[in-house]
Amino acid sequence: MDALTRLFNRRRLDEDLDAECKRCVRYGRPLAFVMLDVDHFKAFNDAHGHPQADTALQEVADVIAGSVRTTDTAYRYGGEEFCILLRETSGLDAMHFAERVRQRIEQRFSAGTTAGITASFGVAGFSIATPTPRALVEAADAAMYQSKNGGRNRVMFSSSSFPPGPPSDLPQIHPPMVSN
């Protein structure tokens, strides 16, 4: 466990990813991986100090923990980076999940001393192109950096993962989203 956020730590992530990737190979089941980074966190930390920054990280972790299913697992990857292992989940479903979490973070930090905190998300699906734990993490990480380079506070699917359906089924999700 990570002492600050009460999410699982990187060591547990490595163990879980290894086991889940082996299970996917053996049984052909879907698996998705989400990586997120709190946007402009160093500037927030510099402006508000470490205690307030720690509180913000705890609150981000609470949003994530409150969003996952009992079959999913959330982790603190390091610093202001978090990740989520989504078992039995397609890439498209993981995109929708990540967008919900992105919106919840944005809403949670819409006012008060932590106002303006957002996160950039990268999503990858286990596939022939990403057949190992390391490849899955690297694919999600690359997509997360696409989110950051594209303006932050958005969700991107890894271009190195095979898409979960026809390309038209996998939009790039950018705020603001309009709900029907």
Q: Counting beta carbons within 10 angstroms of the beta carbon of residue 5, is it exposed (0 to 12), middle (13 to 18) or buried (19 or more)?
A: buried
Reported as half-sphere exposure (CB side, CA atoms, 13 A), residue 53 has a value of: 15
**80 labelled catalytic:** yes
Nearest Cα residue to 81 out of 125, 33, 41? 41
Matching residue, tokens 């079959």: 71
If 0-12 CB within 10 Å is exposed, 13-18 middle and 19+ buried, where does residue 114 land? middle
HSE (side-chain half, CA atoms, 13 Å) at 8: 15
Q: Pick the catalytic residue: 59, 80, 99, 138? A: 80
Q: Which residues are catalytic?
A: 80
